[in-house]
Amino acid sequence: MKSLKSRNGLLCLAGLVLALLIPQIIDNNFYIDVLTLVLFSAFLGQSWNILGGYAGQFSFGGVVFFGTGAYASSILFRSFGIDPWIGIFGAIAAGAAMGAFIGFISFRYGLKGSYFALITLAFAEFFRIIANSVEFTGGGVGIFIDYNPSLTQLQFDNPAGYYYLALLMTVISLLIAWWLERSRFGASLVAIRENEEAAEALGVNAFRCKMYAICIAGAMGGAAGTFYTQKFLYLDPPIAYGIGTSVEMLLVTIVGGLGTIFGPLVGAFVLHSINEVARHYLEAPGLSMIVYGLILIGIVGFLPNGLIGLFRRRQKKMAGGDDA
């Protein structure tokens, strides 16, 4: 078992070193951009995984944290001249506050399962309508961010800059998940996921733990919103609160493996790879999406524990063979 852990640790270190070297190895901005989107998607998926994977509180409206953080940093920048490097902390605070607000309303009144999923979806739609109607968000026109490449603006004239920023965010999200798997708080979340009533009977404060989890998820979503606006320099209500982002957060986690450290990263890499390959090599209109959907159904249908679950089963078989 110790040799297996040591091997996994070496693989993680090697993977990090390779990730740091990729912009020097790959001299193609398109592939760097694709890898940046993979890392960004993995970070978003990990924010959903904290609440949905570890705590078992499935959400269809995780995008509400992303959109709130995106608008918070964008408005601070456009209206008050606060650099995004500082504004990202405002976005993190706004996302966490949104998480606390939604969590209090939901968990205080015992909403769980499909009811919790639907109320988060309702909040996302509600804020989309609000953002489309008020002036300080730019309404339906949206917000345009001035392009001024510098570290303080979180803007770069080279795609590698965004790649390294996305890599930093992803590493932080992996460390958060690693901490959860080794902390008493994380064990409490897993207990709530498995059986909330039994966890409370054992002394777990389910309400407080779920509130902490949704605030962490909200803070991470807020940070992702700032990254998005500084990379793409535009934000409008359908982008900020669109259901597509919520679906992506959920899918990368389920495909990779719910409640696992590397599940969102693996899921993001696989789904984006399938999407890019299908889009470039299947020329018939709509055929790429059909192939993408079929592969996705296959993964979800035959690998209920995700790709990480398959990897763990193979590791156990290998470990059993080594013991023999």
Instruction: Decide if 20 is inside a domain.
Output: no
Residue 48's CATH number: 1.10.3470
Distance CA 59, CA 122 (A): 11
- Which residues lie across from 234 on neighbouring strands? 144
pTM confidence score: 0.91
Instruction: Compute CA distances 179 → 184, 187, 213, 223, 270, whole Å.
Output: 9, 10, 13, 19, 25
pLDDT digits (tens, 9 = 90+) for 5-39: 667 778 888 888 999 999 999 888 989 999 999 99
- The 8-class DSSP code of residue 28 comes to -
Instruction: Decide if 9 is inside a domain.
Output: no
Cβ neighbours, 10 Å, residue 144: 14
Instruction: Decide if 14 is inside a domain.
Output: no
pLDDT digits (tens, 9 = 90+) for 68-90: 999 999 999 988 889 898 999 99
For 254-267, letters b (16+ CB in 10 Å) and e give: bbbbbbbbbbbbbb
* Per-residue tokens: 323: 């013991």
Instruction: Decide if 22 is inside a domain.
Output: no
Q: What is the pLDDT of residue 303?
A: 79
Q: What is the pLDDT of residue 44?
A: 95
Distance CA 72, CA 88 (A): 8
Percentage of the chain surpassing pLDDT 90? Answer: 62
Total number of domains constituting the chain: 1
Written in H, E and C, the secondary structure of 78-136 is HHHCCCHHHHHHHHHHHHHHHHHHHHHHHHHCCCCCHHHHHHHHHHHHHHHHHHHHCCC
pLDDT digits (tens, 9 = 90+) for 248-288: 898 899 989 999 999 999 999 988 888 877 777 766 666 66
pLDDT band of residue 324 (cuts 50, 70, 90) is very low
Instruction: Decide if 112 is inside a domain.
Output: yes
Contact of 69 with 223, CB cutoff 8 Å: yes
Instruction: Decide if 39 is inside a domain.
Output: yes
Instruction: Decide if 157 is inside a domain.
Output: yes
Single-letter residue type at 60: F
Instruction: Decide if 11 is inside a domain.
Output: no
Per the structure, the complete domain to which residue 316 belongs is given by 31-323
pLDDT, average across residues 308-324: 66
Checking if the pLDDT of 193 tops 80, the result is yes
Backbone dihedral region of 14: left (phi > 0), alpha (psi from -120 to 50 degrees) or beta?
A: alpha
Q: Which residue has the higher pLDDT, 240 or 286?
A: 240
pLDDT band of residue 299 (cuts 50, 70, 90) is confident
